[in-house]
Amino acid sequence: MDKNDIFNEEFNGGYAKIDRYDETKVTAVASHYKDIITQLGEDPEREGLLKTPERVAKALQYLTHGYDLKPNEILKSAMFEEDYSQMVVVKDIEVYSMCEHHMLPFFGKAHIAYIPNGKIVGLSKIPRVVDAFARRLQVQERLTNEIRDCIQDTLLPMGVAVVIECKHLCMAMRGIQKQNSVTTTSAFTGTFLSNDKTRAEFLRLVTANLH
Ligand SMILES: Nc1nc2c(ncn2[C@@H]2O[C@H](COP(=O)(O)OP(=O)(O)OP(=O)(O)O)[C@@H](O)[C@H]2O)c(=O)[nH]1
Ligand SMILES: [Zn+2]
C-alpha cells in the first residue's frame, strides 16, 4: 500500500487498526507513559488506566505521522499540464498540529493559493501537504513556510500564498490562559510578493474566513 495512505485509509474507515502501527515504537513509548502516569501520582494498574500507555503511544504516533510522509512526492503524484493561469484557491483546510514547546495541540484553518505556470496539481493534494507538515511537532510559522516552500519548489508555479489561523491550547488551557486569541501567519512567493493587487485579491477571497 502507498505509505502516504496508511493512516488516512484507517481513519476514513473510522477505526485505527492496531496492526498498522509501528509496534516497536508503541511498546517503547507506552513503557515511558506508564512511568509518567506513576510520576503524576496515579496508579497505572487501575482498570481505566491499564491500556492508557498504549493508547497514548498510538495517539502520539498518529499525531506525528507526518514524519513518515514525503509532501513533495504527494504533489508529484498528481501534477497535470494545463493551460490555466488564474489563481487557484483552496480555503478552510482544517489544520491539527502539535506545538513543539508543550506538545499540546494547535488547530484552525489554512488558506492556500497558487498561480499555475503550465501545471496544476490535484486539489486533494494541497490538504494532504498541509497534513504532512502539520502532523509533526511544529511552530505555526515554520508550518506556514514549509507548506509554501514545498508547493513552490515542486509545482514551480508563478506564486504561492499561504495563510494559517490557529488557536493554541498551550495559550488557552495553561499559561496565559487566553481562550479566544487566534494567531495568523502568512507566507508568499512570486507574484503574491511582487504584485500588490494579486496579494490583495487572495486576501479578499480568504478574509471572510479570518476572525
Ligand atoms: N512563535 C510561536 N510560539 C509558539 C507557538 N506555539 C507555542 N508558542 C510559544 O512558545 C513559547 C515558549 O515559551 P517559554 O517561555 O519557553 O515557555 P513557557 O514558560 O511554558 O511559556 P508560557 O506559555 O508563556 O507560560 C510560549 O510563548 C508559547 O506561547 C508557535 O506556533 N509559534
Ligand atoms: Zn505551546
pLDDT in tens, 41-71: 999 999 999 999 999 999 999 999 999 999 9
In the chain, the domains with their CATH numbers are: 3-63 (1.10.286.10), 73-207 (3.30.1130.10)
Q: Which three cell numbers stand for residue 138?
A: 511544529
Distance from C-alpha of 179 to C-alpha of 167, rounded to nearest angstrom = 8
Q: Which among 169, 155, 170, 80 has a CA at the least distance from the CA of 112?
A: 155
**If you measure from the C-alpha of residue 200 to the centroid of ligand 1, how many angstroms do you get, rounded to a whole number?**
31
pLDDT of 20: 76
CA of 144, nearest ligand number: 1
pLDDT of 8: 53
**If you measure from the C-alpha of residue 50 to the centroid of ligand 1, how many angstroms do you get, rounded to a whole number?**
33
Q: Nearest 5 degrees, angle CA 133-CA 70-CA 184?
A: 15
pLDDT of 19: 45
Burial class (CB in 10 A: 0-12, 13-18, 19+), 28: exposed
Quickly tell me which residue has 481562550 as its cell.
Answer: 179
pLDDT of 7: 54
Decide: 176 in ligand 1 pocket, CB within 6 A: yes
pLDDT of 205: 94
Please check the confidence at residue 10 and state whether its pLDDT lies above 60: no
138 Cα nearest atom in ligand 1:
31
pLDDT of 14: 39
pTM reported for the whole predicted model: 0.90
Please check the confidence at residue 94 and state whether its pLDDT lies above 60: yes
In terms of residues, how long is the chain?
A: 211
pLDDT of 210: 58
The ipTM is 0.90
pLDDT in tens, 12-50: 443 444 347 999 999 999 999 999 999 999 999 999 999
Decide: 90 in ligand 1 pocket, CB within 6 A: no
Helix 52-63 and helix 23-39, axial crossing angle in degrees, nearest 10: 120
- Residues annotated as catalytic are 99-102, 140, 168, 170
pLDDT in tens, 127-184: 999 999 999 999 999 999 999 999 999 999 999 999 999 999 999 999 999 999 999 9
Q: Which among 188, 208, 207, 211 has a CA at the least distance from the CA of 198?
A: 188
Q: Is the Cβ–Cβ distance between 29 and 60 less than 8 Å?
A: yes
